[in-house]
Amino acid sequence: MDSLQQKRLQLSRAVSRFKRVSSDITDALLIASQHPQHRLQRLRCPVRPPALIHPVGPGVGWEMEEAEVESWLERSTSRPEHLSFSPSFQRCAYSTWIRENIHKKECCFFEKDVRADVCKCGYSKTDHVGDAIKPEDFTGDSWDRHRHIREVPTDAFGDISFGCLGQKTRKYARVSTDTSPEILYRLLTDQWNLSPPNLLISVTGGAKNFYLKARLKNMFRRGLIKVAQTTGAWIITGGTHTGVMKHVGQAVRDYALSSSMQGQIVAIGVATWGIIHNREDLVDPEGCFPAHYWMDEKGQGRLSCLDNNHTHFLLVDDGTQGRYGVEIELRSRLEKYISGKRLGNRESDVNIPVVCVVLDGGPGTLNTIYNAMLNGTPCVILESSGRIADVIAQVAGLPVRRVTIALIHQLMKKFFGQEYERFPDRSIIEWTKKIQDIIRMSHLLTVLRVSEDHHGDVDVAILHALLKASRSLGIDCWKRQLELAIAWNRVDIAETEIFTEESQWKSNDLHWAMFSSLVGNKPEFVSLLLENGVNLRDFLQEEETLCELYRKLPGGFFLRKIAKRVHSSCRSRRPAIGVRAQALSGEMIRMNHVSDEVRHLMGSFTQPIYPRSTPANQYSMSIEDSSMSLSKSQAGSHDALRDEKPEAPRDVGRDLFLWAVVQNNKEVAEIAWEQCRDCMSAALAASKILKKMAEEGSDADEGEEMKDLAKHYEKHAIGVFSECHNNDGERAQKLLVRASPFWGRTTCLRLALEADDKSFVAQSGVQALLTQIWCGELSVDNPVWRVLICMVFFPLIYSGFLVFRRDEVIQRETEKNEELKTVEKVTGSTLRTNDPTGRAKRLKPLGSWSRLVCLYGSPQVKFYWSIVSYFAFLLLFAVVLMVDFQVMPSPLEVLLYVWLISLVCEEVRQLFHDPDGFGFHKKARMYIKDMWNILDVLSIVLFIIGLAFRLTAVLFYAGKIILCIDFVVFCLRLMAIFTISRTLGPKIIIVRRMMMDMFFFMFLLSIWVVAYGVAKQGILIHNDSRLDWILRGAVYEPYLIIFGEFSTNIDYAAFDMDSCTMNGTDPLKPKCPVLNENQRPAFPEWLTIIMLCVYLLFANILLLNLLIAIFNFTFEEVQENTDRIWKFQRYELIKEYHSRPAAPPPFIIFSHLYLFIRSVVLCRPPVVCKEFRNELLETEEEELLSWEALMKDRYLLSTRQEQSQSVERRILDTSQKVNTIMERLEREEEVTSGAVIKQMARLEEQVAQSARALQLIIDSLKSRGFAVKEAQSLPSAAPDESPNTYVSLSEKEDGFHVNARQFHYPGSKITRFPVPEEKVPWEVSFSSYIPTYYTSEDAGEHVDGSESEAVDTYRNPGGRTGVRGRGALSRLGPNLTTDVFLTRWRDSERSMLEYLAVWDEHQGILSLPGGPVQSADRLPETLMSTMGKKLYEKISEKVPEGIKVFEGYVDDCRNTDNAWVETTVLNIHLDRASQVTIDTNNTVVHSHGSLQWQEVSGRTRIDSNQRDFLRLVAELHNRKF
């Protein structure tokens, strides 16, 4: 039975862990789904918790042990949200966890209080359990809170509903005051699914009668929500619907109503269970899902209602009712525990920061502030919020010695009003001391003053307070500050507080911040880090960093594709291995996988952008750490490269840009694009990659975002190219056709074509390049008629009738030289000597043969000859079909066949011609996609079929028919010649679109045609068996009716018996309709006429007008883009004729024969043309890229100027200025009104004083003696609060001890009597001073005689401490100690002064070697155990040589009124070559870190007192501290 219960307990505990790891199990199953044969081996029990994957009985063999599963699951950091459980299972698991871990407290002993039927715990008799009710004659112990309150499982948890419209349910739980904060944190994160916070905001202050001014209230709410939203913070309050908690709740409500962003603000209310009104609605041992809570503010009395706007509630129970403040201790422990958790992830060195925000408040709030600051928690005080907050705000800027008891009395009376009268003097003294300690810790105190323009935002004040507090943490404070700012995503704070003008940053110091910003998708920080010293080349120098970035990619399309590629490569490289090896080992992703996938997205014509990994060059990651899910389909492995390619050069800007683009991250990609060297190629490559990802992806919304981003980068490419073209057209054209070594050695033009970037190709600069290629070596300014004339009369080219491009270049160079000569004559300079190219000297005019070759080699001329040739072919074809089509082929027909063979050869050449390296498959797909190529193939196939039929005697005529039809196809192919025309080319595009519209229209029309035709045929004709006449009557005749040809048999008037046959025996006549006995048609004439009218109404009027409307819409839609589409398609025609042989068909067959012999027989490589792809020299490449970068900067500058001058931007700026002016006017109005109120108060006070003075004069005149006595007593003050005494002492003293006046005496539960600053000196009277007497029993021996009698003979020279006696010190009076500074120079150049320090493991800081001594001339004996006896003796010999740096009283926390510490600080400097130095170094080496040499620097973490001594040592050796 016990074992069964134990198993049930294990099961219930495993449920909660199963919720955390179930998503990882699901991911494993998805991975296993790709290996069905191993699915059961990898994980046999996908729905059981890991703790149950043990053998539980015979015949059940789980292959994976619990430890293996857990170790595997712990490596997975992702928890996808797609996995869901049934509500009943979730509630069962949640309830089980709550009952096991969360408890409440209840009273187990009822004892009547002064009220009837009410226990001393505050609950009524009916609220107690049965065994708590004792008999009336029971004479046992009296009720005790510690003994009669016990813990039992909680009975109040679940969801809470406040009944508000549109409001979600909240989470709540009743917890015991003794609950571990670790359990509460697990409840919040694991059970309530809250993400760990980046910041914890503890809001405290006034609860009852709390009022905030409207402006301060709005500012507080807006700032609190902004800081919580931007940083991902948790807000912790008291949770009730009163005071500051109510304001926090309303701020959360306003955000929920107005915000369109996802997520919610987490506001956790930690309230006392015993003071909650209507708490019985929350009680249910099985949990409430939900509990309906009624907020009854009117009937709550002394109790409080929960706030309906908080998101989570922890209701703290101590077993009593009606006691406020029960939750304070548990809340403090929870906040301290959360502050000890790591920020963001386990790798972070920074804990979750905590800040306390204070509004209003009373003495309890002061204690909260004081304890928080002692724990190192920064506090933000809102001035003008009331009471204690205003008291602290008033004195925050004053020196400590000016914060007197009298001043606190005055401020308490001013801000607390009537409540001040109930405060005892002892409390005022204690609060004065605490306020002094608070303002002394200025690095933890921030006062938000509403009247100051520079500090008017609550969110900025909160974050500023945290950063200010972090500066006191030591050497790496800047790193903590930057990590906090990145976690909060507050770049404004980083700019103003961290990256100041005084700070100097090294790139290596900020690499971790750059990585965190990139992974965390914080583009503003990425930009800020680049501006402040991060060098991308240094950051991505190691490819492991880039691989790690890909490991951190968010789950998406690219990561899934990479995962499939890795699985495919791993499966092809090795056979399947064991279960545990597959499940527990991470599969490796290398950068060549990324390269292969990017090459797939860009196109196979590109080369890999990353080199193949070798064993010495691997940078990998585990897929199991990636947040992704694999689809069931498996992608095949990528084919190996056909030949070895040179290693692609690195461009870190490109690497980062590509990383951002593949995850569709626009902001980071924008920043990285500005860092790219080849920015135009990068933009076009991004357009291609994004469009390919959108095409292959399954998410429609994500695909639209990718297409929008692709358009954005196409716009960038257009902008940069436009700047380049406007500056230098020749260089811009070089950029288009140069092979980019950073993007797979492809060109910008090729990328734009592959990405279908029509707008880019339509740019005037691109079209100018295409026109130049189209004209070849001919000038683009030659009229077409001159070219046509020279094609026939070629000798004209030698007369200057036709201009060549070489002639234009020479003419421009000549004109330039003439201008230079003119400048030289005027200025006397030698400008031509600075021209290193000498281009004009190298260029020579074209020769006779070269001019002829350039003429007939021009694509333009080839095109014109092809048109002439094609017209001749059609003429020959028509003549053969109509005139000379004999049984035996005539010479003209044979010539036609030869001509066709040349056309076929040309088509084959086009199919296999692949200068871009697409590969045959892609080239074939591109060939088939072209409509003109389809017509070519169709015409050739029809011709071959017709020729085959024509050569057969039986099918001779059928062959001629096919050839005639083929002639129609050849004629349609003739339209392709108009594509080059700027006027007719776009019209052909419109015709193609209209043909598609026509197809869909014909589908609609066919429905009406068939419907009417079949009905008409069935009514008129009876059982016609001739298929041709059936189709004629059912389809053809209805179709002709649309065009006005009506059949004669649909009415009686036009019927003619001679036009039809009765039985359908005449194949040339239709069958007659059914006749009656009068030999007249028997069909109802009215029906056929009505059917015809309806048919004409829909077919002629409706559908034809619809077709006209469709054509009109298509024309208007396409008209705007036809020019752009035509320019885009123009490229293929130009490229076709550029690669085409010069001879037209049929003479082109000789060129084909030459190409065949050259490439196949002689195996010579193809001729490389540089018009479409040009490899530049390295120097020319660098020069061109530098110029492109300059043009990019100009483009970005002009873009920013346009944005700043846009109407939307001006409206936004104007709105911001108006808001700023309004805020300043409101602020000045408040300041002015406040100043007027203060002046009126002073005036009233002066009037009252004048009245009293006048009354005093009148009374003195009546009775002089009494009046004098009264006058003397009036201005007198209590001797304890005399300000004159303090002022005189403050002028003499520099300061008083602080550590010796801490409230809590160290190592004990003793509390010191509060001693404010002004009451420290013994000379100042302090009549209410009653210090606690304390002497530790473990302090050692003391002075001879009775200690209590000798106490008064010793008085602390530093003043009062609040404790009498010996305390924790060993003797009354001075306790002598000695601290030794052993110093040395690190090297012979004296570059650094070092001192010997002792590492204190308990406190985690360094300290000086030292300890108590009997005489200041001897070393402490405690050093003997630290240094060793031998070294101790050698150093003791050097004591006389030492220099006393300091000797006197030390502010030690153990000091009392009668015992104190006096220290002698001795500096012994060691010579580097001495034996003592060698022995000391050996001791340090063998001390295992307990002894360390440290630099004498202000950055050393050391005790504050010893830091002052260290500064003196630095000054002694002339070192900067």
The least confident of 66-70, 323-327, 874-878, 1336-1340 is 66-70
Contact 611, 592 (CB under 8 A): yes
Helix (H) or strand (E) holding 478: helix 477-488
d(CA 16, CA 85): 13
Q: Does the CA dihedral 212-218-219-220 come out positive or negative? A: positive
Angle at 176 between CA 171 and CA 178, to 5 degrees: 130
> Does residue 28 have a pLDDT over 60?
no
Whether pLDDT at 451 is above 80: no
375-390 average pLDDT score = 88
List the single range of 301-305, 619-623, 769-773, 984-988 with lowest mean pLDDT.
Answer: 619-623
End-to-end CA distance of the chain: 72
**Residue 840 — pLDDT band, cuts 50, 70, 90?**
very low
Look at 1151 and 614; give whichever has higher pLDDT: 1151
| Cα 710 to Cα 689: distance, rounded to the nearest angstrom | 8
Residue 1026's pLDDT band, with cuts at 50, 70 and 90, is confident
The answer to whether 233 touches 264, Cβ cutoff 8 Å, is: no
pLDDT of 628 higher than 60: no
Residue range 80-96, pLDDT digits in tens? 434 445 677 778 888 88
List pLDDT tens digits, range 1034-1059. Answer: 888 888 888 877 776 676 666 677 77
What are the φ/ψ torsions at residue 107 (nearest 5 degrees)?
-80, 130
**CA 1479 to centroid of chain Cα atoms:** 55
The mean pLDDT value for 782-807 works out to 87
Distances, alpha carbon 561 to alpha carbons 603, 695, 1139, 1350, in Å = 16, 14, 37, 85
Q: What is the DSSP letter of 1313?
A: P
Task: Note the pLDDT of residue 589.
Answer: 66
What pLDDT, on the 0 to 100 scale, is given for residue 44? 32
> What's the pLDDT tens digit per position in 1246-1263?
787 787 788 778 777 776
Identify how many contiguous H helices and E strands the chain contains and give both numbers: 54, 21
Collapsing DSSP states into helix, strand and coil, what is residue 268? strand
pLDDT of residue 1287: 32
CA dist 203 and 227 (Å) reads: 13
pLDDT for 17 beyond 70: no
Higher pLDDT: 980 or 351? It is 351
Task: Identify each DSSP E strand in 378-496 by its residue range.
Answer: 379-382, 445-448
Greatest mean pLDDT among 198-202, 348-352, 453-457, 1399-1403: 198-202
Closest CA to 688 of 761, 760, 603: 603
74 pLDDT band, cuts 50/70/90, is very low
Parallel/antiparallel/unpaired status of strands 445-448 and 1373-1385 = unpaired
pLDDT-based confidence at 622, cuts 50/70/90?
very low
Does position 128 have pLDDT exceeding 70, yes or no?
A: yes
Cis peptide upstream of residue 290 (ω within 30 degrees of 0):
yes
> pLDDT category, 582, cuts 50, 70, 90?
very low
Q: How confident is the model at residue 1363 (pLDDT cuts 50, 70, 90)?
A: very high
Name the residue among 668, 679, 672, 681 with its Cα closest to residue 653. Answer: 672
CA-to-CA distance for 642 and 605, rounded, in angstroms? 12
Task: Give pLDDT tens digits for 868-917.
Answer: 999 999 999 999 989 888 888 888 989 999 999 988 888 888 888 777 77
Element (H, E) at 1380: strand 1373-1385
Residues 735, 740, 745, 751, Cα dihedral to 10°:
-60
Mean pLDDT score, 945-965: 89
Q: At a CB cut-off of 8 Å and minimum separation 6, what does 366 contact?
A: 388, 392, 431, 434, 435
Residue carrying the six token digits 């966890």: 97
d(CA 1129, CA 1138): 15
Lowest-confidence pick of 475-489, 512-526, 1276-1290: 1276-1290
Q: Identify residue 1467 by its one-letter amino acid code.
A: N
Q: Is the pLDDT of residue 632 over 70?
A: no
Please compute the mean of the pLDDT values over residues 581-610 and round it to a whole number: 73
Q: Which tokens sit at 953? A: 């005697």
Position 418 scores a pLDDT of 86
Least Cα distance to 860 among 787, 789, 795, 785 occurs for 787
Bridge-partner residues for 149, per DSSP?
107
pLDDT, tens digit, 9 for 90 and up, residues 1425-1483? 888 888 888 888 888 888 888 888 998 989 999 999 999 998 888 888 888 888 888 88
pTM: 0.72
pLDDT in tens, 169-205: 889 999 998 899 999 999 999 899 898 998 899 999 8
What does R_g of the chain's alpha carbons equal in angstroms? Answer: 47
- Give residue for tokens 């040395």: 1384
pLDDT at 50 over 70: no
pLDDT at residue 1277 is higher than 50: no
**At residue 76, does pLDDT exceed 70?**
no
Residue 1000 φ/ψ region, left for φ over 0, alpha for ψ in the -120 to 50 degree band, beta for the rest: alpha
Written as one letter, the residue type at 926 is M
Residue 604, both tokens? 């196979």
Burial of 830: CB neighbours in 10 Å, binned 0-12, 13-18, 19+: exposed
Nearest to 1126 by CA among 926, 994, 993, 984: 984
* Predicted pLDDT at 722: 93
User: Is residue 690 packed enough to be buried (19+ CB in 10 Å), middle (13-18) or exposed (0-12)?
Assistant: buried
Give the closest residue to 363 by CA, choosing from 337, 402, 400, 324. 324
Half-sphere exposure of 1007 (CA within 13 A, CB side): 6
Residue pair 967/882 in contact by the 8 Å Cβ criterion: no
Q: What is the DSSP string of 591-645?
A: HHHHHHHHHHHH-TTSPPSSPPP-TTS----BGGGS-----SS-PPPPPPPSS--
Q: Give the Cβ contact number of residue 1102 at 10 Å.
A: 13
The three-state (H, E, C) secondary structure of 1422-1482, written as one string: HHHHHHCHHHHHHHHHCHHHCEEEEEEEECCCCCCCCEEEEEEEEEEECCCCCHHHHHHHH
The residues pairing with 266 across neighbouring beta strands, listed in sequence order, are: 234
Q: What is the pLDDT of residues 1209-1228, one digit of tens each?
A: 678 778 777 877 776 676 56
What percent of the chain has a predicted confidence (pLDDT) above 90? Answer: 15
d(CA 1107, CA 1438): 111
**What is the pLDDT, as a whole number, of residue 581?**
35
Would the pLDDT of 1288 be above 50?
Answer: no
Residue 710 DSSP SS3: helix
The structure tokens listed for 994 are 């209209």
How crowded is residue 779: how many other Cβ atoms within 10 Å of its Cβ?
Answer: 15
Q: How far apart are CA 1004 and CA 1107, in angstroms?
A: 10
* pLDDT for residue 1157: 86
Q: Residue 348: left (phi > 0), alpha (psi -120 to 50), or beta? A: beta
Query: Beta strand pairing status for 379-382 and 354-359?
Result: parallel
Exposed, middle or buried: residue 1177 (CB in 10 Å: 0-12, 13-18, 19+)?
exposed
Winning range, highest mean pLDDT, from 46-60, 225-239, 922-936: 225-239
Segment 642-654, tens digit of pLDDT? 344 445 567 889 9
Q: What is the mean pLDDT of residues 981-988?
A: 75
Higher-pLDDT residue of 84, 1177 = 1177
What is the chain's mean pLDDT, rounded? 78
Alpha-carbon distance of 973 to 988, in angstroms, equals 12
- Decide if 237 contacts 203 (C-beta within 8 A): yes
